[in-house]
Every structure is written in C-alpha cells, then in structure tokens.
Amino acid sequence: MVLFILFPGMGESEKLWEKYINWESKKREIIRTSFLQKLKQLGDVYIYTPNIYNIMNYCSCSPECKLIKKFYSEPNEISINDMNIDSECKRIYEEVKSYKGKFIPIGHSAGGWFAVYFTKLYPSRCSKTILIESGYLTQKLAKWQLESRILNTKIKNKKMTIQELQNFVQKLQTNRSKLVLDGKTCENKQTLKLINKFKQIFLSYYYNTIKKIDGKLIKPTLFFENIAITDNSKEDKKMDNLLRVKYFDELYKKNGTKKINVHYLLNTGHFPWCIPKYSDIMIKQIKCFVE
C-alpha cells in the first residue's frame, strides 16, 4: 500500500491535478485530465490547497476571476504557519500518519520544495519522492529562481507578526471587495502590487526552508523536467535547458546516481500532466518507479 501526497505548485489548487482552464479558447472551457484518476490506480492519494493560495486567487471581481474562483475555497484566517513549509508538512503528517502503508510525496513546481522537505522530516514513512517541474533545490539556484524569475526583486527575510500579516491580508481582501462593488477588475496596479507583496512575504518564508535542503535528497527521487526545443527558441530558453543539465550534474555530485532518476519531457510546458500523451508517459514511469 502506498499513499501519494500531492503538493501543488505556487498559487495552484488541488483541483488542477484533475482539470484545468483552457485559456487559449474563447469559451474558456474547463478540461478534465486523466492523470489523477490513473494515479489512484497505483495507490491512494492525498491532495490539498495551501490556504495562502486560496487567499491569492479567491476573487470574483471579473468574469475570469469568477472562473478561477471555482478552483479554490474561501480562505481561512491566515496564520504565520500557513507560510511555513515545516509547519505545513507537520500539519499534513498529522492528517495522514494513521495510514498503514508508505508515503510517496509528489511535488509540482514550488510543491517540490514541500515534497523533498516532507521526505526529509519523515524518512521512515516515505519510500520515494517524485518531482514534476520542481523548483530548484540547491540554495544558490533557488535564490536565483525566486529573485529573477518570480519576484523580480531581492528576497527580504523580514519577519512579520501575526497581526501585521492579518492586517495586510485584510487590506488585500478589502481592496478586492471594493473592486467588485465598483464593477472593476483586479488587474489594476493597487491589487497587483498587494499580490506581489504577498508573494514576497510567503516566499521569503519558503526560502528559509529551501536553503536548508541545499540539494540533498533523502530518498530515491524521480524528476520530470521539460526541455523546450523549437525552431525559434529564444536565448533564455536555450539557457534554461543548459542550466537544468548543469543543475542535475550538481545534484548527482551531492547525492550519487542511485538517488536520482531524471525523465526529460519535450515541449510540455510547466504542466505536463495536462497533456494526455505525456500524462500517460508519466504514469508509466511512476508505476515503474514505485514497483
């Protein structure tokens, strides 16, 4: 018996493991994927949405926001622990610890940091780890990724009191409520500024945990990584591919070859399980890895 514990990427919800919004369509269809259904044939599954991701996305100030809102729950009152990978992993463990079999954490994007850290906390309960387009695990590259690709600013490790955090979130929610009343959308400078500030706050807490990992893996880990190759690849895409190869060379040096199994996917983007062909490939690889 095995329990897959699914950690979503930054800002994502648990529902994105089974369906997604087709933004390329004018009708914005919600398309179901088969990944989660097929994963459940390999074991039991636990998934969740971090409360801070509900706070980021639970909004109805425009038709698109109302559509996105279907994927999220009304947020609970915020706490410092909501932003702490260590606290969140320990909270989840309390919910699943009675399970009789082994755990296999699966992390997508920022969820990869959670998956690796959960394995580190509970090595006797976790048999393996699976990472899908994971955030970088080495301290140097994780910092670079956060500062240059997500935040566009330096990470600030300023601690907040619970009251300061609650006041900030209340300000964000009040601003959104006013937009709904005024018939405006949240794509305005004030709201975007508040959301970006919120990202800076919780990602600084994330980084305090990531840097402790620094590329060290506790259990055998399966990586799914996208390689982008087109006729007119931009220079940064070429550099991303080269960077990933160097990154895994560094992980091999830190962990040895027995702990790392990298499966490269071609032109899948950041959500490979949403593409039927690659979803099936991933399930086959996971099945072999688990067995």
pLDDT, tens only, 103-123: 999 999 999 999 999 999 999
pLDDT > 70? residue 239: no
pLDDT in tens, 146-166: 998 888 888 887 678 999 999
Q: What angle do CA 192, 194, 198 make, to 5 degrees?
A: 115
- What's the pLDDT at 236? 53
pLDDT class of 283 with cuts at 50, 70, 90: very high
Burial label, 102 (beta-carbon count in 10 A; 0-12, 13-18, 19+): middle
Euclidean distance between CA atoms 261 and 82, whole angstroms: 31
Place of tokens 């994330």: 206
pLDDT at 24: 77
The CATH number of the domain where 87 resides is what? 3.40.50.1820
Residue 255: phi and psi, rounded to 5, are: -120, -15
Q: Supply 274's token pair.
A: 């949403």
| Tally of domains within the chain | 1
**What are the Cα distances from residue 119, in Å, to 128, 171, 179, 193, 219?**
8, 36, 42, 35, 7
For residue 57, the 8-state DSSP code is: H
CA-wise closest residue to 280 among 15, 16, 37? 37
| Measured CA distances, 68 to 39, 118, 203 (Å) | 24, 28, 22
Checking if the pLDDT of 140 tops 60, the result is: yes
- Domain span holding position 99: 2-290
In the 8-state DSSP scheme, what is residue 135? P
In the chain, count of helices (H) and strands (E)? 10, 8
- State which amino acid sits at residue 130: I
Q: How far is CA 170 from CA 20, 182, 278, in A?
A: 29, 18, 41
Whole-angstrom distance, CA of residue 199 vs CA of residue 207:
12
